[in-house]
């Protein structure tokens, strides 16, 4: 007698019993994957389908993942995978409101963001990091110049 199998779907609903050939057909239809729970011959022992040697050949090619391969370009506009670059950008933009406090962190995080991009290019964020570095530097120099000019004005008066 050939083995019979039951599987548990993502909703925890049981399907089967079915033969090994039928289960292979389900694998080919992407109804099952390596992580699908399966019970053989009513044993009560649920294991991942990928752990059963008799089905390993059916998983020779990589299975599609639930996550999309791309994000539609969103990470280019908002580099959410490169937090230092993203934070540097916002700090750099808000440097105009409070230069001495935000400029230095904007520059430091911008440099960290550039290092992240260099180490892992798919995280994106080069432009955001540079905006943080440049605006942080410009507003810090402007604030220093204003303090120097104010100091000179007070010493004359």
- Name which residue leads in pLDDT, 60 or 115: 115
Does 100 share its domain with 145?
yes
| Contact indicator for 156, 148 with CB cutoff of 8 Å | no
For residue 69, what pLDDT is reported? 58
**Position 66 in a domain:** no
pLDDT value for 56: 80
Same domain, 115 and 82: yes
Q: Which residues contact 114 (CB under 8 A, 6 or more apart)?
A: 85, 126, 129, 130, 133
Do 82 and 53 fall into the same domain? no
Three-state SS sequence of 11-74: CCCEEEEEEHHHHHHHHHCCCCCCCCEEEECCCCCEEEHHHCHHHHHHHCCCCCCCCCCCCCCH
- Residue 65: inside a domain: no
pLDDT of residue 10: 83
Q: pLDDT tens-digit profile of 45-93?
A: 999 988 888 888 887 655 555 555 566 667 667 888 889 999 999 999 8
What phi, psi does 134 have (nearest 5°)?
A: -70, -50
Residue 122 structural domain: 74-156
Q: How many domains does the chain have?
A: 2
Q: Does 26 lie in the same domain as 79?
A: no
pLDDT tens readout for residues 19-51: 999 989 888 888 888 889 999 888 889 999 888
The arithmetic mean of pLDDT across residues 88-100, rounded, is 85
CATH of the domain at 20: 3.30.1490.40
Average pLDDT over residues 116-122: 90
Average pLDDT over residues 143-154: 88
% of the chain beyond a pLDDT of 70: 89
Same domain for 137 and 103? yes
């Amino acid at each position: 007698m050939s083995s019979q199998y039951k599987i548990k779907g993502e909703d925890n609903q049981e399907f089967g019993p079915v033969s090994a050939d039928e289960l292979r057909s389900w694998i080919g239809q992407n109804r099952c994957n390596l992580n699908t729970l399966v019970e053989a011959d009513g044993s009560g022992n649920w294991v991942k389908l990928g752990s059963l040697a008799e089905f390993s050949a059916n998983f020779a090619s990589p299975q599609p993942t639930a996550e999309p391969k791309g994000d539609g370009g969103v990470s280019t506009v908002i580099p959410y995978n490169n937090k230092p670059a993203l934070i540097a950008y916002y700090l750099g933009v808000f440097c105009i409101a409070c230069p001495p406090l935000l400029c230095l962190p904007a520059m430091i995080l911008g440099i960290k963001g550039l290092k992240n991009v260099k180490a892992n290019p798919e995280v994106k964020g080069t432009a955001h990091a540079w905006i943080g570095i440049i605006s942080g530097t410009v507003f810090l120099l402007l604030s220093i110049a204003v303090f120097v000019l104010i100091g000179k004005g007070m010493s004359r008066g």
